[in-house]
Amino acid sequence: MKLFVRRIPPVLILHGESDPTVPVEEAYHLQQVLEGKGVPYEMQIYPGIGHSFTGEIWRDAGLRTLAFLKKHLGQSSDSSGTQV
């Protein structure tokens, strides 16, 4: 995987360990690249999970995604001043 970006934004990696479509080694390779470039990242490898998330894994991935976005994008306000 080659990355041709000057500034890489924070990255969230959520990957099934048993993914037959995208080997989990790709996630670990990306982790090495991000660490080498000093890019903030969070990573969760789900043991025994394939390419699709369902049930509790789907819920966990969703919660991790929301927390990651909140952490890195912060809260914003709409035009009425209501936080969204």
**Nearest one of 1, 14, 9, 8 to 43, comparing CA atoms:** 14
Q: Where do we find the tokens 């037959």?
A: 20
Q: What is the mean pLDDT of the chain?
A: 89
Residue 74 confidence (pLDDT): 83
- pLDDT tens per residue across span 48-84: 999 999 999 999 999 999 999 999 998 765 555 555 4
Contact 57, 49 (CB under 8 A): yes
What residues pair up with 16 in beta bridges, in sequence order?
A: 46
pLDDT number for residue 7:
79
Give the start-to-end residue ranges of the domains of the chain: 11-71
pLDDT above 60 for 15 = yes
